[in-house]
Amino acid sequence: MILLVCILTSLAVLSVHAHLLKPACYVRAAYCSSSSVQSLTCREPCTSLGDVEILLTGGDDVETPRFYIAHNRSANSIVVSHQGTNSHNILSILNDLELLRNPLNSTLFPKAPTEASLHAGFYETFDRTAQSVLSTVSAGLKSKGADNVLIVGHSLGAAIAVLDGMMLKTMLPANVPVQTRVFGLPRMGNSEWASFVDDTISDAFTFVTNNQDPVPQVPPTILGFKHPSHEVHIQSGNVTVSCNGQENTHCSAGNSLLDSLIADHRGPYFKAAISLVCDCG
Ligand SMILES: *[C@@H]1O[C@H](CO)[C@@H](O)[C@H](O)[C@H]1NC(C)=O
Ligand SMILES: *[C@@H]1O[C@H](CO)[C@@H](O)[C@H](O)[C@H]1NC(C)=O
Ligand SMILES: *[C@@H]1O[C@H](CO)[C@@H](O)[C@H](O)[C@H]1NC(C)=O
């Protein structure tokens, strides 16, 4: 029995690395300056991207986290990557607990249930880049002949990426696969919101939580916030587990906030230490 568990765990770890290491590398580069990403001169974070063409860079690292959109020529995919904000900032945004009752643009989210409520700050930040993300991805699919989309993000950028993923899943042609892989995601909204995420992007979505990072545990469930399904949790010693359903206590929901380590927010996630400062030139 114990042997079986070990075998299953190591198999799971292998497949998790294949699916999540590259997304973590894409996020790491989003912390570099827009000009160094545009010219692919951000050293290791840029070289690890391989054969990519940068289609758009944006954000200012103040109001709007930096982001870039790239074409990975060999995977023929369009990649959207959002940086987060520093740990102090994310916790201060989360202090502001204003939930907006279905603030969602009905063109971009026609199926949003009226009871779905979302953290106001997250929606407003998403809204500042949504139109340029939608138009650049749509144009990139056509002009590059790309046939799939990957959206990644960390921290506040993870929340933006989830909204991007849901928007693109809804707005792009149904035959375009859209994968959303995010790291250090805070709780975004209420239980109707969490179920709407599950219904919309389902298993094309993974959110990775690292060890004792407190950010995925705030705002607390006691205030009505809830995570969607599809969490992958990195435990101490780099044991990686994948949890079924929402708020599974085998993953970060089982952590005590008293033991939290804010340093875990930056990773490492599958070897890519996602810095909260630009340390990449
Ligand atoms: C781009 O796509 C190729 C082929 O799938 C893959 O090997 C490579 O790792 C991708 N680059 C990144 C940064 O994911
Ligand atoms: C909602 O999204 C549509 C489609 O992108 C856009 O044309 C419209 O201006 C947006 N509405 C608001 C209120 O932002
Ligand atoms: C976990 O993985 C990271 C990144 O590869 C590495 O730096 C660290 O030493 C590992 N920790 C353990 C306990 O294996």
Domain extent listing, the chain: 2-266
Residue 1 burial class via C-beta count within 10 angstroms: exposed 0-12, middle 13-18, buried 19 and up:
exposed
| Residue 107 CB–ligand 2 contact under 6 Å | yes
pLDDT at 36: 93
Token representation of residue 148: 């799939």
Could you give the count of Cα atoms lying within 13 Å of 211 in the half-sphere of its Cβ? 16
**CA 169 – ligand 2 centroid, Å:** 16
- Describe the crossing of helices 87-95 and 156-171 by its angle, rounded to 10 degrees: 70
pLDDT at 262: 86
- 17 closest CA partner among 269, 273, 274: 269
pLDDT at 8: 45
**CA 55 – ligand 3 centroid, Å:** 34
Contact 24, 18 (CB under 8 A): no
- 168 closest CA partner among 246, 77, 75: 77
> How many other C-beta atoms are found inside a 10 Å radius of the C-beta of residue 76?
13
**CA 197 – ligand 2 centroid, Å:** 20
Q: What is the DSSP string of 60-105?
A: -SSSS--EEEEEETTTTEEEEEE----HHHHHHHHH--PEEES---
* Each residue's pLDDT tens digit, 68-122: 999 999 889 999 999 987 666 776 777 666 777 778 899 999 999 999 999 988 9
Which contiguous run of DSSP H or E holds residue 153? strand 148-154
pLDDT at 14: 54
**CA 238 – ligand 3 centroid, Å:** 6
pLDDT at 281: 39
State in words which class domain 2-266 has: alpha beta
- Which residue, chain included where needed, has tokens 């929606």? 123
pLDDT at 272: 76
What is the Cα–Cα distance from 110 to 167, expressed in whole angstroms? 10
pLDDT at 130: 97
What is the Cα–Cα distance from 9 to 83, expressed in whole angstroms? 30
pLDDT at 38: 95
> How many other C-beta atoms are found inside a 10 Å radius of the C-beta of residue 222?
6
Q: Which regions in the chain score pLDDT beneath 50?
A: 1-8, 10-11, 278-281
Query: Which residue type does 144 have?
Result: K
> Using alpha carbons only, what angle is made at residue 38 by residues 33 and 126, rounded to the nearest 5 degrees?
65
Q: Which ligand 3 atom lies nearest to the CA of residue 273?
A: 4
Q: Which ligand 2 atom lies nearest to the CA of residue 127?
A: 14
The residue contributing the CA closest to ligand 3 atom 12 is 237
The residue contributing the CA closest to ligand 2 atom 13 is 105
Ligand closest in space to the Cα of 133: 2
pTM confidence score: 0.91
Spell out which residues line ligand 1, taking CB within 6 angstroms.
22, 25-26, 49-50, 72, 74-75
